[in-house]
């Protein structure tokens, strides 16, 4: 297939693999002391397992699967709070499909839908806006979820609702941002990541500049990567070149899509509608400072937290809830999915117990689907 085949060329992959092997040896890595490379984005985790890149690279390279799947890190409390809205009269809940299976304490959106709750799957927040236009006697609440990739679409839907004065549309905002959890991981003393593969889609919006602190403050190289197998192979090679040559910087392998300063239209919509929360809870990781977005007061009428008096408080601080599963340790590379006693036993994609089994981009779901557990 044109435009895809050239990123899946097996001969090129073998050549890059040979270069990776040579450089990782020069870097002093071997299978007993591998270089740990964290891919931040769940899309990259999926590509790595789907195409067997973890097996293709030499054993001197170990991938650590970071917290880059927004569905996986969504705290249970937020699912519960969203579902509680359905107990009010005349409310239609709308959500992206991948959030439908996230378990809350009283079930997932999908299970509640099966039990009769009016939860509708949408492909975009503008679909949700259309449902609001067609149902003026109902309150339509969209479950805003995702990183800087999906947040602009939510922002634009709020701007559109304000422009049309649509009074029965609001957003339950759970948008989060990528740089703060990377800082949080790097500040943990016992985490030893040698380099980062930066997210492609998020960087399309925010650019590569927001990752400068990783190189400047923490001395770790970053390469923003595309999603095809050769993109990832080349990104590993670029990281190794930095390590061997003693350079530490943010490089951009995905230059066909990503720029240094990001997408100004998306960034403008984001800044107009959202502000940073003091902190936000990440399932499995706990509270992370300045890692969430909330709707500005100027747009309060479209903020479900304001409209329904929900108020943000994490499940950790409010109810003493802690994720009893070791998903957080998998996300920072301290454990592999197969180290978890629940993996492929009582925790499967059909019956996810923990965060990383819910979405196909979660590390445990990827291991399960592509046989990483073997």
Choice between 332 and 347, CB closer to ligand SF4: 347
Choice between 59 and 329, CB closer to ligand SF4: 329
Choice between 113 and 342, CB closer to ligand SF4: 342
Least Cα distance to 318 among 4, 105, 52 occurs for 105
Binding-site member from 74, 156, 250, 364 for ligand SF4 (CB under 6 A): 364
Q: Count the residues of the shown chain that bind ligand SF4, applying the rule CB under 6 A.
A: 15
Least Cα distance to 224 among 200, 195, 259, 260 occurs for 200
Choice between 292 and 352, CB closer to ligand SF4: 352
Choice between 274 and 343, CB closer to ligand SF4: 343
DSSP character at residue 345: T
Region 330-359 residues binding ligand SF4, contact defined as CB under 6 A: 330, 337, 340, 342-343, 347, 353-357
Binding-site member from 199, 200, 326, 333 for ligand SF4 (CB under 6 A): 326
CB of 84 to ligand SF4, least distance (A): 25
Binding-site member from 327, 336, 360, 366 for ligand SF4 (CB under 6 A): 327
DSSP character at residue 309: T
CA distance 331 to 362: 9
Q: Which residue blocks in the chain are alpha helix, DSSP H?
A: 10-26, 42-50, 53-56, 76-84, 109-114, 125-134, 151-164, 179-186, 200-206, 212-216, 229-245, 264-273, 304-307, 315-319, 327-331, 363-370
User: 165: how many CB neighbours lie within 10 A of its CB?
Assistant: 7
Enumerate residues 6+ apart whose C-beta is below 8 A from 313.
Answer: 77
CB of 50 to ligand SF4, least distance (A): 18
Choice between 225 and 357, CB closer to ligand SF4: 357
Region 286-325 residues binding ligand SF4, contact defined as CB under 6 A: 325
CA distance 129 to 373: 42
Q: Which residue ranges make up the site for ligand SF4 (CB under 6 A)? A: 325-327, 330, 337, 340, 342-343, 347, 353-357, 364
């Amino acid at each position: 297939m044109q435009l895809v085949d050239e990123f899946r060329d097996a001969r090129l992959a073998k050549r890059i693999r040979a270069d990776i092997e040579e450089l990782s040896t020069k870097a002093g890595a071997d299978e007993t002391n591998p270089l740990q490379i964290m891919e931040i984005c769940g899309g990259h985790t999926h590509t790595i397992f789907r195409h067997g890149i973890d097996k293709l690279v030499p054993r001197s390279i170990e991938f650590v699967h970071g917290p880059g799947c927004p569905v996986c890190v969504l705290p249970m409390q937020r699912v519960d709070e969203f579902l509680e809205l359905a107990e009010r009269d005349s409310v239609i809940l709308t959500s992206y499909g991948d959030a439908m299976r996230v378990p809350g304490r009283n079930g997932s959106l999908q299970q509640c839908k099966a039990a009769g709750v009016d939860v509708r799957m949408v492909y975009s927040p503008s679909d949700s806006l259309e449902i609001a236009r067609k149902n003026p006697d109902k309150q339509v609440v969209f479950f805003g979820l995702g990183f800087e990739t999906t947040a602009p679409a939510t922002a634009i839907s709020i701007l559109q609702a304000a422009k049309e004065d649509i009074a029965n549309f609001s957003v339950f905002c759970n948008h989060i941002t990528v740089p703060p959890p990377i800082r949080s991981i790097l500040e943990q003393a016992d985490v030893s990541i040698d380099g980062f593969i930066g997210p492609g889609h998020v960087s399309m919006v925010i650019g590569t500049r927001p990752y400068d602190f990783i190189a400047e403050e923490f001395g770790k190289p970053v390469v923003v990567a595309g999603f095809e197998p050769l993109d990832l192979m080349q990104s590993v090679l670029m990281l190794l070149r930095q390590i061997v040559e003693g350079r530490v910087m943010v490089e951009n392998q995905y230059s066909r899509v990503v720029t240094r300063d990001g997408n100004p239209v998306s960034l403008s919509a984001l800044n107009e509608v959202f502000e940073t929360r003091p902190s936000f809870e990440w399932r499995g990781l706990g509270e992370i400072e300045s890692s969430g977005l909330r709707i500005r007061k100027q747009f309060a009428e479209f903020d479900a937290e304001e409209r329904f008096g929900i108020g943000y408080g994490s499940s950790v601080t409010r109810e003493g809830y802690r994720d009893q599963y070791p998903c957080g340790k998998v996300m920072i590379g301290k454990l592999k999915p197969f180290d978890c006693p629940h993996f492929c036993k009582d925790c499967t994609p059909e019956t996810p117990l923990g965060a990383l089994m819910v979405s196909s981009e979660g590390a445990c779901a990827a291991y399960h689907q592509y046989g990483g557990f073997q």
